[in-house]
């Protein structure tokens, strides 16, 4: 009951900030074009900060990597499947990007961690496993593939060379350098915020990281336009089936097949069942994709996830 209550509260936080963005847009305090500025702040400041500070504080344990690798495989599978289905159904390139992002990447950090803490309050191993699954299975793909995919789907050109040049711009971005520095810092276990000279750097990173979620949701909310149900129903059906139903069911099946401990199975399935990640919409907005469609899919799928997650809770006991 507490876990479900926490889930509802977490989803409502997204909805309230989303609604606040719409209210501020209608009032004239913020405008739709401000969403691009917020998206740039998120991708160029807040996201690099959270990547660095997260990776710098932990050293990856190889014996706990298996569930994270399963999640990574599921992310790649959902990307390929959503992309293939959207092509077969003749969605345009920008719409394909919205469907791919909302079908593959989940909100494992913002919603996932709080749910795990509530469900396993006296089991710190559950949160440790959740961090590995979230960072390696969800974080790395969206940090690395997110900007590349968003640049591809946001590009109107059909020239392959131009598309690759645009996509590979990720390797010059602050996100990429934060990823490298964070891995280096954590891998060599360099001093952190306990060091008096480095404390300001980590405090600044933590402040920027804490701003990621509200700024990202505000950016997404400013893009929202009331969709035509006839135009969104097919895309929404794909997202709900792939992200909220098929992905957690596959996670459960694979966890059993690989013989994971029960705790690992439960954490993996719960994180696989999370609604679409806000960051995916921000990437699309940053690179000129169909962020409006993705924004609508995100909001509706987040609300639907309250129902589907109840089913997941019931399934895993």
Q: What integer best gives the mean pLDDT of the chain?
A: 83
Contact 98, 294 (CB under 8 A): yes
Domains, in order of start, for the chain? 2-316 (1.20.1530.20)
* Lowest-confidence region among 131-135, 161-165, 292-296: 161-165
pTM of the model: 0.77
**What is the model's pLDDT at position 199?**
93
Contact 308, 273 (CB under 8 A): yes
Per-residue pLDDT, averaged over 171-181, amounts to: 82
> Which pLDDT band, with edges at 50, 70 and 90, does 272 fall under?
very high
Structure-block tokens of residue 163: 């598309």
Contact 35, 285 (CB under 8 A): yes
**What is the model's pLDDT at position 170?**
64
* Lowest-confidence region among 47-56, 190-199, 201-210: 47-56
Tell me how far apart the alpha carbons of residues 131 and 158 are, in angstroms, rounded to a whole number: 38
Q: What angle do CA 35, 41, 97 make, to 5 degrees?
A: 60
**What is the model's pLDDT at position 146?**
86
Tell me how far apart the alpha carbons of residues 37 and 45 are, in angstroms, rounded to a whole number: 12
Beta-carbon count within 10 A of 107 CB: 25
**What is the model's pLDDT at position 198?**
93
User: Does the pLDDT value for residue 89 go beyond 90?
Assistant: yes
User: Does the pLDDT value for residue 103 go beyond 90?
Assistant: yes
- Which carries the bigger pLDDT value, residue 63 or residue 214? 214
Structure-block tokens of residue 260: 């994971």
User: Does the pLDDT value for residue 179 go beyond 70?
Assistant: yes
State what percent of residues in the chain have pLDDT above 70. 85
User: Does the pLDDT value for residue 74 go beyond 90?
Assistant: yes
Per-residue pLDDT, averaged over 115-131, amounts to: 72
Alpha helices in the chain (DSSP H): 2-27, 34-41, 47-56, 65-88, 93-104, 113-119, 124-132, 140-153, 160-167, 174-187, 199-210, 212-223, 229-239, 247-257, 262-272, 278-286, 291-316
**What is the model's pLDDT at position 1?**
55
**What is the model's pLDDT at position 92?**
92
**What is the model's pLDDT at position 6?**
63
> Which pLDDT band, with edges at 50, 70 and 90, does 169 fall under?
low
């Amino acid at each position: 009951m507490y876990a479900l209550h926490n889930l509802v509260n977490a989803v409502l936080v997204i909805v309230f900030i989303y609604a606040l963005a719409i209210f501020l847009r209608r009032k004239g305090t913020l405008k739709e074009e401000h969403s691009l500025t917020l998206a740039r702040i998120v991708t160029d400041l807040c996201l690099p900060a959270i990547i660095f500070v997260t990776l710098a504080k932990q050293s990856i344990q190889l014996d706990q990597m298996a569930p994270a690798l399963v999640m990574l495989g599921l992310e790649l599978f959902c990307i390929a499947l959503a992309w293939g289905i959207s092509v077969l159904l003749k969605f345009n390139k920008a719409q394909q990007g919205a469907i791919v992002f909302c079908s593959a990447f989940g909100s494992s950090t913002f919603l996932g961690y709080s749910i795990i803490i509530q469900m396993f309050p006296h089991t710190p191993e559950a949160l440790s496993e959740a961090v590995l699954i979230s960072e390696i299975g969800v974080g790395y793909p969206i940090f690395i593939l997110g900007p590349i995919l968003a640049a591809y789907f946001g590009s109107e050109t059909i020239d392959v060379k131009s598309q690759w040049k645009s996509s590979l711009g990720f390797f010059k971005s602050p996100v990429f350098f934060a990823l490298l520095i964070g891995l280096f810092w954590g891998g060599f276990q360099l001093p952190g915020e306990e060091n008096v000279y480095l404390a300001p750097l980590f405090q600044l990173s933590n402040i920027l990281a804490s701003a990621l979620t509200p700024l990202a949701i505000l950016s997404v909310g400013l893009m929202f336009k009331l969709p035509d149900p006839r135009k969104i129903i097919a895309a929404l059906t794909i997202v709900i089936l792939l992200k909220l139903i098929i992905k957690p069911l596959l996670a459960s099946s694979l966890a059993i097949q690989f013989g994971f401990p029960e705790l690992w199975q439960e954490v993996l399935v719960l994180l696989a069942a999370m609604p679409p990640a806000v960051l995916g919409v921000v990437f699309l907005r940053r690179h000129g994709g169909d962020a409006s469609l993705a924004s609508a899919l995100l909001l509706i799928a987040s609300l639907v996830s309250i129902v589907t997650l109840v089913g997941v809770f019931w399934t895993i006991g």
